[in-house]
Structure 1
Amino acid sequence: MKKLVTGGLCASLIAGLSACTNEVENTSKTATAEAVQAALTSGIDFQNIDKSVRPQDDFYEYVNGTWLKTAEIPSDRTNIGAFYDLRENAREDVKAIIEEVAAMPTLKAGTDEQKVADLYRAFMDVETLNKLGVTPIQPEFDKIAAIDSKADLTNYFAYSQVNGYGTPLAFYINVDAKDSTRYATHIWQYGLSLPEKDYYFNTEERFVNIRNEFVAHIEKMFNLAGLENGKAAAESILALETAIAEKHWDVVETRDSTKTYNKMMVSELAEIAPNIDWKQYLATMGVAEQKDIIINQPSYVSGLSDVIGETDLATLKTYMTWNVLTHAASNLSEEIDAENFAFFSKTLNGQEQQEPRWKRGVNTVSGTLGEVVGKVYVKRHFTSAAKERMSELVENLRGAYGTSIDSLDWMSADTKVAAKDKLAKFNPKIGYPDKWKDYSKLTIKGDDLVGNAQRASVESHNKDIAKLGGPIDKGEWHMTPQTVNAYYNPTMNEIVFPAAILQPPFFNMQADDAVNYGGIGAVIGHEMGHGFDDQGAKFDGEGNMRDWWTESDLEAFTAKGKALVSQYNGYQVFDDLHVNGELTLGENIGDLSGVTIAYKAYKMSLDGKEAPVIDGLTGDERFFMGFTQIWRVKMKEEALRNRVATDPHSPGHFRALGALSNMPEFYSTYDVKEGDKMYIEPAKRVKIW
C-alpha cells in the first residue's frame, strides 16, 4: 500500500481506489470491533424534546420543539437542521482535503491534485478577480453584439449553454424513458431569472416588490459591468422574461412524466418552432446528425418561438447579455459578486450575509471536480462496515416491501407480480461509485476562474454527447460521495445513497436498530417509494415508462394519491400559505411509504422478540422519534416561501406529521385518539404501500 501524506491523504488522488479502499477496510475492522464493544444508545437527541407539547397533537414539535425555540440561523445561512448541518460538516471535511492538496510543495501539471489546488486558488484570489472585472466575459459580450440575425441568435442559445451561460432552452442527454437501452436528446424549458413563473404574475405585494427589486438589480449589474442603458435594459429584460414565463408550464405540470415525454423527429421542429434555426442550434450542440429528440414541454418551445418572432433583435441580445453576466457573476469581481448575492440570496431567500469565501470555494471544487475529492472523502469518512450495514438495511427494506405488496387489499394479483418484479430489480448504490470519473481532459488554471468554469461546462457537455449511441452507463452517479442526500432514478431503477448522508441522525453505527430504521431506513424506503409514487409507478423494472397496471388498480392508486393531496393541501405554512399537495405528491408518497415499510422492516428484524428498552424508550418510540428528528429544520421565512412555491418536498414539519398521521402503529404507540390534533379518522387515513 502506498504511504500516506499528512492527515492520511492518499499520496496521489489518482493513485487508484485500491490504496484508499484497503485503508478503509483496515480501519473498518477496528471500527466494527469498537462498535461491538460499545453499549448501544438510543440515538435520540433528548435535549431537543419539548415536553410541554403533547406528542398526540404535534409529534414534530414534541421531538424537536426545544431546538426549534432556541436554535438560531447563522447570518450566512437561510436554514439549519439535520440535513443542512451535515452538509456543513461535509463541507468542512472537503475543505481539509482541498487545503492539504493546495499545500503540497510540487504539483505536476495536468494531475488531479494540480486541478483541485488551482481551481480553489483561482476562486480564492479575489485580488486578481477585482483587477479583471468583467474582462473574462467581455468576449461573450462582443459575440452577442456582433449577432445580426435571429438565426444567429438562436445558434448562440446553444453556444451559451455549452459554455455554461444562460439560455431559454435547456438541452440535455438522458436515458430514453420509453427505451431504457438508449440515450436520447431532450429539451426542457428554461430562461427565467426568478424562481418560478408565478413570480412574474402574482399581484401580491411581496411579488410586486420582488419584481421591482429585480429590475433595480439588473440595472446595478449593468452599471457595474460598464454596460450602457442599465435602466432601460432592466425593464426590457423583465418584460421579455415575463413573456417567456407566460409560456412556461407550471411546477405541477412539469413533474408529470407522461406529459413531458414528447418524442418527435428533428425534421418536425421547424413546424412547431419556426423562429429557431434548429439546424444551427443542434450542430452547435454537437448533435447535427440526431434524428429524433424529446421535447419535454412542446407548447413552451412553440411559445418561445412566437416570443422570438415578436421581439426585436436588440432586446433579445440584451437578454442574452444579461444571461452571460448573471451566470458568471459569482466568478467575477467582489462588487458584482456582492450585488448578485444581494438579490438572489438576500432578497429572494432572506440570507443576511454571504458565506465565507472558502465555503463557496469548496462548493466550486466539489461541483467541478467532485469525484476527485470524493475519493479521498470516502477514504476518511466512510467505512466498509457502514457500507455492509447499509446493504443489510436495503435488503431488509426490500423484503418488507415485498411482504407489504403481498398484503395489499386494493391491488390485483397481476399487478402485484409486476410490482414485485420491479422491486426485485432495484439496483442499490451505496457510498461511492465503483468507477471514478475521469477529469484528464479538463484544463484548470490558477488565474482563470471564469475560464475554468467555461472549460468545465464544455467538458461536461462533451462527455454527455459522447454517450449517444453507446451502452447505458449503469455505474454513473449523479451525486458525489460528499453529498448529503439520496435519489431514485426511474430510467435506471436505482436507489442511490452517498456516503455523507450515512451519519447520525440518519445512520448511527453506535445506536440501536430502532433509530436507524426510523432514520436511514425511512430514507431507503422513501427512495424505494419513489419507484412506486405517482410518477415512478409509470416505470417498470427495466426503467421503461409503460402501463404495467390493471385499469382498476390504477384507479384505486390514483384515488389514494388524491386523498394524500387533499391532506397536505390542508397544512398551513403561514397564515396566507398552504402546502401544495399536487406539487409535493411524489415526495409525500415517498415519505409515507418509506416510514411505513421501514417500520415493517424493523419489526421483522426483531424476529418476534421484544425490543429492549433503551434510555427509557421502547423500540417503537425510538423508531418514531428517530424518523421525526431527521426532519428537524428551521428556515428563514423568505427561503421557506420560495421552497413552498418551487420544491416538490413538503416542509420538514409536515413531512413528519403527514406520514405519521396515517400510521395505525403511531396511534397505538402514543395512544392518539379522536380530539387529538394529529388524529385522522381511520376511513380517511391513507395507506398506499
Structure 2
Amino acid sequence: MNRFKFMIFIAFITTGLAFAQTSSLQGPEMSDLDRKAAPCNDFFEFSNGTWRAQNPIPASMDRWSRRWKAGEENKYQLRDILNEVSAQPGQPKGSTAQLTGDFYAACTNVKAINAAGITPLKPYLTAIDAIKDNAGLQQEIRELHSIGAMVPFVFYGNQNQHDPENVIAQVGSGGLGLPDRDYYVKTEQRFVDARAKYLVYVAKIFTLAGSSDAEAKVAAQTVMDFETALAKATLDNVALRDPHSTDHIANLDALQKMTPHFDWTTYFSGAGVAPGVININEPNFMAEFERQLTSTPIAAWKTYLKWQVLNSAADVLSDPFVDAHFDFYQKQLAGVGELKPRDVRCAEMTDQMLGEALGQEYVKRYFPPEAKQRAQTMVSNILSAMQDTIEGLDWMTPATKQKAIDKLAHFTVKSGYPDKWKDYSSVTITRDDHFANFIAGSRFGVKDNWSTINKPVNRGRWGMTPPTSNAYYNPLMNEIVFPAGILQPPAFSVKYADAVNYGAIGVVIGHEISHGFDDEGAQFDATGHLSNWWTADDSKKFEAKTACVVKQFNGYTIDGLDNIHINGKLVLGESIGDLAGLKIAYLAFKKTAQGQSSEKIDGFTPDQQFFIAWGQFRGDETRPETQKLMVQGDPHPVAKYRVLGPMSNFPPFGAAFSCKPGDAMVRPDAERCVVW
C-alpha cells in the first residue's frame, strides 16, 4: 500500500467511526418524491417531481430546484452581511468592511443612479467620438481593455499549456453581443428570431443614449454586420472544447506579422506587460481583426465600440438601461419574467467585484471548521475510489493505468476558501458613485490578472469566490475546487446521513475528479502539461467509450421541443463527469458504515437513499427558453438528463430499485455506456 492509499485508508476508518450512527441523521427529502411515478421508468420525476410541482420557478429565475434555491439563499446571506456593514459608514479606508459596505451602499442608491442617467458613461463615449485614425482606434481599444471591455479581441494571462508552471499572455476572440457565433450564422428559426430581437435591443440602447430612432436603426445594423464578420471567424462551442484548437504558441514578432496594422509593442507597454511567450487562441479570428483594421471605416468602428461600451455598462446605469438589458438577455433569450430585487443584484455584484473581501465574513458565519473537515474526508474517500476504479479497468494497459494513477495522486484539493485572501486595499470605493466603483473594481480585476503574466503560477489563487454555489476542475493546475457556497444544504451538511452527502455533494466531488479524465482533461498529464500519456491502443478504446456517451445524449431532446436535440459532443465532458462521478461516489459510500448497513430511513435502503439524493440535487425545473440556450452553448446537459443519463447506465441503481430489462431506466447491455 503506497503512502497515498494509506492516507485514504485512514480517512475511511475515520468516517466509519464518526458517522456509524445514521438513525439520528437526516435522510433524503421524502416530501419531494412523486410516488405516482415509477422509479424504474422516470427517476427524475420520482425523486423530485412533487417538489417541482409545488415550487414553480420564481419569475426572476431561469430554473429552480432545492439546489438553486440554496444558491439564492447564499445571496440573501450576503445581502444581510452587506446591509449590516453598509449601515456602519466610516470604516478604515481599504478595509474589507469599507470596501464591501460602501460598494453595496452605492449600488443600492437607486435615486442617485437614476439621477445620473448616462452621464457617468459620457467621457468614454466622447473619447470614442474623438477617434480620427487607426492610431486613435488602437489607443481606445487599449483603454477599453483596461476597464474590462475586451473588444474586439480579449487579452489576459493564463498558464502555458506546455509549461504550466508559468503564466503567459493569451490573445483570443471576443466582441460579440449575442451568446456565441452560431447565433449570427445559423439559419434555424430560433437563431433568426434572436438576431431580429438583438437588432431591436441594440437600437433601443442607442436611443437611450441619445440617438434618434433612424440613427439607432442604422447603428444597430452596423453593429450586426461588424459582429457577424467576427463571428464567422470564431470557433464554435464544440471546437473550443478541444485544447489543441486554441493552442498556438507564438511570440511578439509572430503576432505582429499576423496583424501588421496593430501596434502590439505599444499595446503591451500600455498594459504594463513585457512581451514574452504568447498564445494566440484563434489565428483565424486575429486574421479577421486585421481585415477589419484595414477595410472597415473608422465611423463603423466607432459605432461598434460605442455599442460595446453601452452594453457592458448597461447593468450599472439608470433603470431604463437596466430594464432594456434585462428584457433582451433574460426575458427574451432565457424566458425570465422579472428582475431580481435590487439588493440581491447588488449582493451579486459585490461578490463579483470584491468576492474574497465579502467571502471572509461569509465563511465565518456559514462554514464551520467541522464542515470543512468532513468535506475533506469525503474528497479523500472518493479519490481513493477513483484509484480503485482505474486499477480495476479491464480495457486499459498497465502503462497507461500507472500514468492515470500518478495524475490522481497529484490532484490538489481546495475546499471552502483560499489560504491567503486577495488584497483589495488599493481599490478606491466610495458610497456615492456606483459607476465609478464599477470601473474601479473592473480595473482592479484586469490589472490583477495582467500582473500574473510572465510570472510563475500562483497555485493559491482561486477561480471562484467563497460564497459561490459551484465547483470546478482546472486541468492546468490539476486541482479540484469546492467553495464554501456549495458545501451547504442540500448538497452537504454535517447533519446529513452519509447516503445524502455522498449522493449529493459526493457525486459533485466525483464529477470534478472525473473531469481530470474526461475527453478534455485526459489530454493533460499529472503536472498540467498538454501531453499525450496514453498508448495508441488505449486511446482508441477510450474514444470508442466516449462515442457511446455522445450517441446517448444526442438522442435526448429538450422538453416540448422534439426537434431540438442535446449536442452529445458539446456535453461530453460533463456527461463523462456525471457518469464516473456517480460510480466513484457510490463506491466510496459503500465503504462507509451506512453504506455497509441495511438500515432503512423512511422506508428506503441506504443505496436507494444515495440515488434519491442525486435525483433531488439535480432536480432542476428549467424554462424552455433557457433549455434552448443550454443546448446551444452550455457544456452541461439539461438537469433531467444529468439524472436519467448516468443512472440508466449504472447497474447498482437498477438493483437498488429492482428494475428489470426493458424499463426506461435500464439501458440494454449492448447500449450501456461505461467510461471509467
Tell me if both proteins adopt one fold, taking TM over 0.5 as the criterion: yes
Aligned length: 656
Residues 595, 607 of structure 2: 8 Å contact kept: no
The answer to whether structure 1 residue 668 and structure 2 residue 655 are counterparts is yes
- Sort the Cα spacing of 1:101 and 1:595 in 2 relative to 1 into closer, same or farther, 3 A: same
Residue number among 53, 58, 61 corresponding to 2:45 in the alignment: 61
Residue 626 of structure 1 is aligned with which of 607, 613, 623? 613
- Distance across 1 between alignment mates of 2:174 and 2:304: 13
- Distance across 1 between alignment mates of 2:89 and 2:119: 31
2:58 pairs, out of 71, 74, 82, with 74
1:439 alignment partner in structure 2: 424
Partner amino acid for 2:635? P
1:386 to 368, 371, 396: 371
Q: Distance in 2 between matches of 1:205 and 1:418?
A: 47
Aligned mates of 1:62, 1:99 — CA distance in 2: 40
- Which residue matches 2:436? 451
Partner of 2:6: none
CA contact (8 A) 2:499 2:594 kept: no
Native 8 Å contact 2:408 2:526 kept in 1: yes
Measured at CA, do residues 608 and 174 of structure 1 come closer, stay the same or move farther in structure 2, by a change above 3 Å?
Answer: closer
Q: How does the TM-score come out when normalised to structure 2?
A: 0.94
In structure 1, the gaps of 5 or more residues are 1-32
1:142 aligns with 2:126: yes
**SS where residue 575 of structure 1 aligns?**
strand
Question: Per-residue deviation at 1:81?
Answer: 1.3
Given residue 615 of structure 2, which amino acid in structure 1 is its aligned partner? T
Correspondent of 1:174 among 139, 144, 158: 158
Distance 1:380 1:34 in 2: 24
- Cα distance, 1:34 vs structure 2: 13
TM-aligned CA deviation for residue 496 of structure 1: 0.6
Evaluate the alpha carbon distance shift between residue 215 and residue 180 of structure 1 in structure 2; reply closer, same or farther with a 3 A threshold: same
Structure 1 stretch displaced more, 482-491 or 37-46: 37-46
Query: Which residue does 2:529 correspond to in 1?
Result: 544
Which residue number corresponds to residue 25 of structure 1?
A: none
What's the % identity of the aligned pairs?
A: 39
**1:333-352 counterparts in 2 under 5 A?**
333-352=318-337
**Local SS of the residue matching 1:622:** helix
TM-superposition CA deviations, 1:433-484 (whole Å, max 9, x none): 1111100110012222222121222222222222234332111111111100
The correspondence for 1:261, drawn from 223, 247, 261, is 247
Give 2:462's aligned residue: 477
Report SS of the residue matched to 1:497: strand
Contact 2:67 2:490 in 1 (8 A): no
- Specify the SS of the correspondent of 2:332: helix
The worse-fitting range, judged by mean Cα deviation, of 623-632 and 635-644 is 635-644
In 2, the alpha carbon distance for the partners of 1:77 and 1:394 equals 31
Please report how far the alpha carbon of residue 166 of structure 1 lies from its aligned counterpart in structure 2 after TM superposition.
Answer: 4.4
RMSD (Å), alpha carbons = 1.9
State the Cα deviation string for residues 108-155 of structure 1 (Å, max 9, x = none). 333221211211121111221222111111111111111122343234
Residue 225 of structure 1 pairs with residue 209 of structure 2: yes
Name the counterpart of 1:640.
627
* Distance (Å, rounded) in 2 between the aligned partners of 1:588 and 1:536: 13
Partner of 1:139, secondary structure, is helix
CA contact (8 A) 1:166 1:327 kept: no
2:650 is matched by which residue type in structure 1?
A: M
- Is 1:590 the counterpart of 2:577? The answer is yes
Letter in 1 for 2:173: Q
Query: Of the candidates 579, 597, 605, which is equivalent to residue 592 of structure 2?
Result: 605
After superposition, the C-alpha distances for 1:3-46 in whole angstroms (9 at most, x for unaligned) are xxxxxxxxxxxxxxxxxxxxxxxxxxxxxx99999943452111
Query: Is 2:518 the counterpart of 1:523?
Result: no
Which consecutive residues of structure 2, in runs of 5 or more, have no partner in the other structure? 1-16
Match of 1:281 among 254, 261, 267: 267
Secondary structure in structure 2 of the residue aligned to 1:430: strand
Mapped contact 1:428–1:495 kept (Cα < 8 A)? yes
Q: CA deviation at 1:681?
A: 1.4
CA contact (8 A) 2:52 2:65 kept: no
- 1:166–1:320: 8 Å Cα contact kept in structure 2? no
- Kindly provide the CA deviation profile for residues 622-677 of structure 1, in whole angstroms up to 9, marking residues without a partner as x: 11111111101112211121111110000110011111111111122223323212
Separation in 1, partners of 2:428, 2:20: 47
Q: How far 1:169 moved relative to its partner?
A: 0.8
* TM-score scaled by length of structure 1: 0.92
Map of 1:533-572 to 2, 5 A cutoff? 533-572=518-557
Moved more, 309-318 or 104-113: 104-113
What one-letter code is carried by the residue in structure 2 that aligns with 1:520?
I
How far apart are the structure 2 equivalents of 1:45 and 1:137? Answer: 50
- Aligned partners of 1:199 and 1:207 also within 8 Å: yes
2:452 aligns with: 467
Aligned partner of 1:251 in structure 2 is 237
Q: Which amino acid aligns with 1:207?
A: F
The one-letter code matched in structure 2 to 1:177 is Q
Q: CA deviation at 1:102?
A: 1.1
Give yes or no for the alignment of 1:655 onto 2:642: yes
Counterpart contact for 1:130–1:333, Cα < 8 Å: yes
After superposing the two structures, state which structure 1 stretch, 501-510 or 239-248, moved more. 501-510
Q: Deviations over 1:496-551 (max 9, x none)?
A: 11111112221132222112111111111000000111111111111111111111
Listed one character per residue, the Cα deviations across residues 223-278 of structure 1 (whole Å, up to 9, x for unaligned) are 11113521110111111111111111100001111221110111011332334332
Quote the residue 1:95 is aligned against.
Answer: 79
1:197 aligns with 2:181: yes
Write the letter of the residue equivalent to 1:203. Answer: T
Deviation at 1:105, TM superposition (A): 5.3
Please name the residue that 1:131 is paired with. 115
SS in 1 for 2:581: helix
Residue range with higher mean Cα deviation, 586-595 or 77-86: 77-86
